[in-house]
Structure 1
Amino acid sequence: MSASVTLCFLLRTHNSQNQVLLGLKKTGFGVGKVVGIGGHVERGESVVAAICREVAEESSLTVEALDLIPAGTVEFVFPAQPAWDMFTTVFLCRKFAGHAVESDEIRPQWYPVNRLPHAQMWADASHWLPAFLAGERGHWRVVLNDDNETVASSTHTPPRGPVPTEDQGS
């Protein structure tokens, strides 16, 4: 069974430049990579509650549930390591409070939306993140190769109505 995970890409305009908050992962899964802010949904927790909690824990920023913009989902499949499979609900957010502060897990940094640090990110991010940031919605299914790093295949299914979250079923 896939782990339920959630990511939030906080967006701002700074000096006439659209930026997204990403973070250098300092511990755990993905250490050393630049990743989105987020994490696992805990037992009994909604996806929305989880992302509000994760954003606060990892960046010290506060996001409100009503300000989250559902973007879609990404299903990550690791055939060589099925325990790593993840079903990820993705949100965007343009309204938040506070200033991004480094945590034990993440060193947050703002990046220009048109110059993402792909070389430092998981290889799959280039398949779906620019699309979400450009306003595309839907579900991506990313299958990784046996090296658990490179992408074997990536498919996109546009939404047929509201973008589902795992709370609503998919």
Structure 2
Amino acid sequence: MMSESPIDWTIWQGEMLATLMFVIKDGQILLIEKKRGLGAGKINGPGGKIEPGETALEAVIRETQEELLVTPHDPVKLGELRFSMSDCPDILCHVYRSEDFSGTPTETDEAVPAWTALDEIPYHRMWEDDRHWLPLVIEGKTFIGNFIFEGERVLWKEILTDLVW
């Protein structure tokens, strides 16, 4: 792993704007197995690209509805993930947490829902960076995660915590 970042993160901007949602309820987290697109076959939270004219909050609700047919209640933004990628545009991802939802998590063309105990999260099937920041989401802490990827491997990382949005 690189010891220093070659990127000045104070001026870095993501080319692709995206979201992730994690519903945590009754000691479990609602994850998905992604069926297509970036990260197909991996486990993650529902989410996706922010459309032009859409806020991050509007996008994370829409994406969760499209991928799982559920509507998260009172989402709270906990983090931002900044990904410098070797094989796709740089991504700025807004990370949200919700404690409740309406609807029934349902498989769609995009995702298979998977309720998972908080102590059984399958990090081995997730992006390499997830193990560094998902525990912060579970704890309800705010954060920024800066990551440099080569393919699917993290070359450098930095996590800043206890931020005020």
**Range into which the TM-score falls when normalised by the shorter chain:** 0.7 to 0.9
Q: Does 1:76 align with 2:79?
A: no
3-state SS of paired residue (2:39): coil
Q: How do residues 1-170 of structure 1 correspond to structure 2 at under 5 angstroms?
A: 1-13=14-26, 18-64=27-73, 67-78=74-85, 80-81=86-87, 83-144=88-149, 146=150, 148-161=151-164, 163=165
TM-score normalised by length of structure 2: 0.87
Where do 4+ consecutive residues of structure 1 move more than 2 Å? 158-161
Q: Would you tell me which structure has more strand in proportion to its own residues?
A: 2
Check conservation: 2:136, 2:143, Cα contact below 8 A. Answer: no
Between the two proteins, the alignment pairs up a number of residues equal to 152
Deviations 1:38-85, CA, capped at 9 Å, x for gaps? 000001111111111001000000124xx111111111111x22x331
Corresponding residue number in structure 1 for 2:7: none
Q: Deviations over 1:89-146 (max 9, x none)?
A: 00000121011000101001101112110111111111111122122212110111x2
Report the Cα offset of residue 160 of structure 1: 4.2
**Counterpart residue number, 1:167:** none
Per the TM alignment, residue 155 of structure 1 is displaced from its structure 2 partner at its CA by 0.6
Q: Which amino acid aligns with 1:70?
A: K
Q: How many percent identity over aligned positions?
A: 31
Aligned equivalents of 1:113 and 1:84: distance in 2? 31
Q: Is the 8 A contact 2:48 2:63 kept in 1?
A: yes
Paired AA for residue 104 in structure 2:
H
Contact 1:61 1:99 in 2 (8 A): yes
Structure 2 residues not aligned, in runs of 5+: 1-13
